[in-house]
Amino acid sequence: MAYFRRRKHEWLALDSRCATQLSDARLQLHHAAQLVAAMGISYLPKAADDSHTNMEWIADALASNVVGKRPFRLGVRASPFALVVIGGDAELAAYSLHGRTINDAATWVRGEVAKLGLDPVRYTLEKHYTIPPHLVARGVAFDTREAAAFEQLQRWYDDADSVLRTVAEERAGSPVRCWPHHFDIATLLTIAPGQTIGIGLEPGDAYYDEPYWYVNRYPAPPAPPTATLDGDGVWHSHEWIGAVLPGSRLSREQQHQVKAFIDSAVRALSS
């Protein structure tokens, strides 16, 4: 049984040169995360905002909301790629995903939740949204032979959680959570009644095939602001409007660069 404590975060260096080479690892992690989101779908009351399905970065894993009378969470780690059962401040069990299928993993989860007093029959992978396809959804085993890509994803989420928690604390943002549909980890700032600014990290999608930081506003402005973004950020305007800092643009002073980008984007979208 492994024990852990939330450590004081030190920025983990990100390799901007391989930011565009994480697609397969990211898709495998996204599909594995659905095993975690399934805990909320299976055992928690449905929330109007889908928050019962979201995940929190705890113990170096994307972990479900707490479930059960003997409270625990299910989580997924990118590196080493595994499911973990977390109870209090202890890792109760772990299951390596390399060479295993989604069905293998679901069978293991059902066995673990039964040990902790939940009805394993209720555990379902059915969901009310779709995610990008990958062969693992068709029964192919997870494959982590490109270990460096999974390690980089682990670092991206770890750094993102630290930065976003600081933003949320300083700006009274919402709790930092990862959402299983788009797979972004984010916080939300309320700047006026009915007006919000979202700040987050998207590990890659149809718009950018690499991790990227984003800042956007609701309701969306009619056009991108004219303000120049710090930190080598750019304005995005295809299908949605917001500020973006792609991972491939990160320089040596990464932590300072990300903070400068976020601060400048929030200023521009708040005016």
User: Per residue in 177-220, pLDDT tens?
Assistant: 999 999 999 999 999 999 999 999 999 999 999 999 999 999 99
Which domain-ending residue is among 108, 138, 168? 138
User: Per residue in 210-268, pLDDT tens?
Assistant: 999 999 999 999 999 999 999 999 999 999 999 999 999 999 899 999 999 999 999 99
**What does the pLDDT read at residue 89?**
81
**What does the pLDDT read at residue 133?**
98
**What does the pLDDT read at residue 143?**
98
Question: HSE-up of 12 (CA within 13 Å, CB side)?
Answer: 16
Q: Quick check: 21 and 150 in contact, CB under 8 A?
A: no
Both 59 and 94 in a single domain?
yes
**What does the pLDDT read at residue 6?**
47
Both 260 and 153 in a single domain?
yes
For residue 20, what are the CA distances in angstroms to 133, 182, 262? Answer: 18, 18, 21
User: Per residue in 78-119, pLDDT tens?
Assistant: 999 999 999 988 999 999 999 999 999 999 999 999 999 999
**What does the pLDDT read at residue 188?**
98
Both 133 and 153 in a single domain?
no
Both 154 and 188 in a single domain?
yes
Both 83 and 174 in a single domain?
no
4 domain-assigned: no
DSSP state of 181: T
Q: How many domains would you assign to the chain? A: 2
Both 56 and 171 in a single domain?
no
**What does the pLDDT read at residue 240?**
98
Structural domain range at position 23: 14-138
The torsion angles phi and psi of 91, rounded to 5 degrees, stand at -85, 115
**What does the pLDDT read at residue 7?**
53
Burial class (CB in 10 A: 0-12, 13-18, 19+), 132: middle
**What does the pLDDT read at residue 2?**
58
**What does the pLDDT read at residue 5?**
47
Cβ density class 24-57: b for 16+ within 10 Å, e for less: ebbbbbbbbbbbbbbbbbbbeeeeeebebbbbbb
Which domain-ending residue is among 84, 114, 138? 138
Both 69 and 128 in a single domain?
yes
DSSP element (H, E) containing 159: helix 147-171
User: Per residue in 45-90, pLDDT tens?
Assistant: 999 999 999 999 998 999 999 999 999 999 999 999 999 999 988 9
Q: Cα–Cα distance between 247 and 232 in angstroms, integer?
A: 11
Q: pLDDT band for position 176 (50/70/90)?
A: very high
Sequence-ordered strand ranges (E) for 70-122: 73-77, 82-87, 90-96
Both 120 and 194 in a single domain?
no
Residue 1 has pLDDT above 80, yes or no: no
Both 105 and 175 in a single domain?
no
Which domain-ending residue is among 111, 138, 165? 138
Both 211 and 187 in a single domain?
yes
User: Per residue in 128-157, pLDDT tens?
Assistant: 999 999 999 999 999 999 999 999 999 999
8 domain-assigned: no
Q: Cα–Cα distance between 207 and 204 in angstroms, integer?
A: 8
3-state secondary structure of 21: helix
